[in-house]
Chain A
């Protein structure tokens, strides 16, 4: 065991333990796999972002002048597919979760390191297939693949894109399975369930959804492919099939998938806020169990995507009520985070700015979700930009804010270097402004009746669309900045201390970056989570 050869002139860590391309591509170290994910997910983020910018450019003018209608359909479809399956679902669990889950519970690796590597290769295979699909014609159904358009009418690459999503799904299942087993079986001595960081609780809840939900989308894709290739009638009313069945099966996964995206980011925020408010989190048990509650309720609300699809009114009523219920655990989290801030000694570091961004944007996204859960209002705004704005407030405002906050918070641990704090704050500000400029106008557009997925619109909507397009450019700058200074800091950043934030948690008790097996000695946990009363704060928590 090489880690025992310490202390040496240069400290051994997981980055300098071994060199060469083979040591990366065949690694079973969860930290290295996290970095593999980081690279590939960032790549897909910019692909998806590229489609988004093209969409916004087309919508700069009311006429359909930049691309043709068919191309526009493909643009928003590929934007959705790439962002959902290749960015939002894996981003926090596969990068930050992979890196942190074993360290936070004090173990050497995930329970199944080789399956962990396999899940990255599945992700890459799925990504390669999706890229091939994009380059050879793409898909135009929207990411939702609604039957019977996808099964009987469109001439685009449904089966190929479906197969890519199918494979990516298995990557996601394996990650979730690995996390559940690791959290159950591999916790360090003394790391009881109520001492676990809330990040772990959030990932536990996420993993439950991944394991229970993803297989259902897998079989749905199989059914769509079978129907499309052989025309069997499963979703074809002419032969007795029911297109609504497709929607039910699809949303049974795809609604909980939203919680796969947002829960890990909530976990990140639960780590950042206590650290920079220097207080134990308010209502630990409630925040922890609300994650599980979201995972459970999240499975019972899927049909609120189908209020206008021709369901029975009574079913709609029940799904509407259940959708309101899921707001309760979300609100519990927001109130507890806010209560944690109360009388805390707050420092406005970059991660904290992102956490504040998350709080505001997630709250707006969540509250507009209640509008959509209300049957009457939903009929008015279904398939308008109101819906688009709502879910972008959750997925971009929520998930991405949490992800970027987490990346800044743990960057010293991941890379061993500090990022430039001034640039960090600037980027956080730009992202926040750019985001609101992009998506707030869309609420108004949607409420005024502008439908989604059209490449032309009446001239009276232009002002708001121009604002939105301008915002998306600002947002793009905000996303490029961190990438640039993260890369810069890997060479020129200040060497990070083991615990630069004076934060609680096992990941801060090992070196930065950690050794290959995370700890020199398996830690014994005899303290509660977020024990900030007993941790002395840095005099100047933010070093410029």
Chain B
């Protein structure tokens, strides 16, 4: 190991097989981006199914979509965008080596993530009460008084809710993982694990959080905002 003894002693976070910190950081961030690409492909399968069925059954999908609570959805969108901001500020705090600010912003992110999940749970509860959860008890009448062009087909409306629960559920699972991730990071940050020369986990978890955010940015209009002007 003639090439790297000085840097190796310099930073304890440098792993043996990298020649310097820059290489290690570049590798980790490229790895994270690639992981996010796989996530896009993963969600892509569901988006693809959604778009096909929405084209096929637009009438039923827009009727089902209008039964979603747009205020809660919009609030959640704002909450999530806010949490993206706090993540950016956390990464910035880590860059400048400010431990207190870092911990604060991480905690703020966790808080906003929990708010999102709480609101989502309320929405799920509503749908459960209205018998809009797919399964044997599924029952969707369509909006009262709404002038649909055609009567709503139960099975097709159920498809909308299948995709709604799959996509938002998969998104929520990612949120829960993210909150867990940030909880660990907060603890480590509190202990002074991260310095201005080593904060890759914060940055990469931030990337992950932004990704989860972006998925929601697409989910919100696709699921909540079909044909609202009725």
Residues of A within 8 A of B (CB): 1, 3-4, 107-113, 173, 177-178, 180-182, 184-186, 211-216, 218-220, 222-223, 226, 230, 232-234, 238-242, 245, 249, 517, 521-522
Q: Is the CB of A185 within 8 A of B30?
A: yes
B58 CB–A CB distance under 8 Å: no
Beyond A177-B34, A215-B41, A521-B3, whether A186 also contacts B46 by CB under 8 A is: no
Identity of the chain B residue whose Cβ is nearest the Cβ of A212 in the assembled complex: B41
B177 CB–A CB distance under 8 Å: no
Beyond A185-B26, A223-B45, A517-B1, whether A230 also contacts B135 by CB under 8 A is: yes
Q: Is the CB of A230 within 8 A of B134?
A: yes
Q: Is the CB of B27 within 8 A of A232?
A: no
Beyond A111-B27, A113-B17, whether A233 also contacts B159 by CB under 8 A is: yes
Separation of A110 and B1 alpha carbons in the complex (Å): 16
Scan B161-172; emit 1 where CB is below 8 A from any A CB, else 0.
010001000000
Residues of B within 8 A of A219 (CB): 42-46
Beyond A109-B17, A245-B49, whether A185 also contacts B42 by CB under 8 A is: no
Count A-B contacts at CB 8 Å.
119
Residues of A within 8 A of B196 (CB): none
Residues of B within 8 A of A (CB): 1-3, 16-19, 23, 26-27, 30-31, 34-35, 37-46, 48-49, 52-53, 56-57, 134-135, 153, 155-156, 158-159, 162, 166
Q: Is the CB of A216 within 8 A of B3?
A: no
Residues of B within 8 A of A178 (CB): 31
Separation of A193 and B9 alpha carbons in the complex (Å): 31
Q: Is the CB of B49 within 8 A of A234?
A: yes
Residues of B within 8 A of A112 (CB): 27, 31
Decide if the interface of chain B is mainly helix, strand, loop or mixed. Answer: helix
A-B contacts, 21 listed (Cβ < 8 Å): A107-B17, A111-B17, A177-B31, A178-B31, A180-B34, A184-B30, A185-B27, A215-B40, A218-B42, A219-B43, A219-B46, A230-B134, A232-B134, A234-B162, A239-B159, A240-B56, A240-B57, A241-B159, A242-B53, A517-B16, A522-B19
Residues of A within 8 A of B3 (CB): 521-522
Q: Is the CB of B31 within 8 A of A111?
A: yes
Residues of B within 8 A of A1 (CB): 1, 16
Residues of A within 8 A of B23 (CB): 185-186
Q: Is the CB of A181 within 8 A of B34?
A: yes
Q: Is the CB of B38 within 8 A of A239?
A: no
Beyond A181-B27, A230-B135, A242-B52, whether A216 also contacts B41 by CB under 8 A is: yes
Identity of the chain B residue whose Cβ is nearest the Cβ of A112 in the assembled complex: B31
B99 to chain A, nearest CB (A): 26
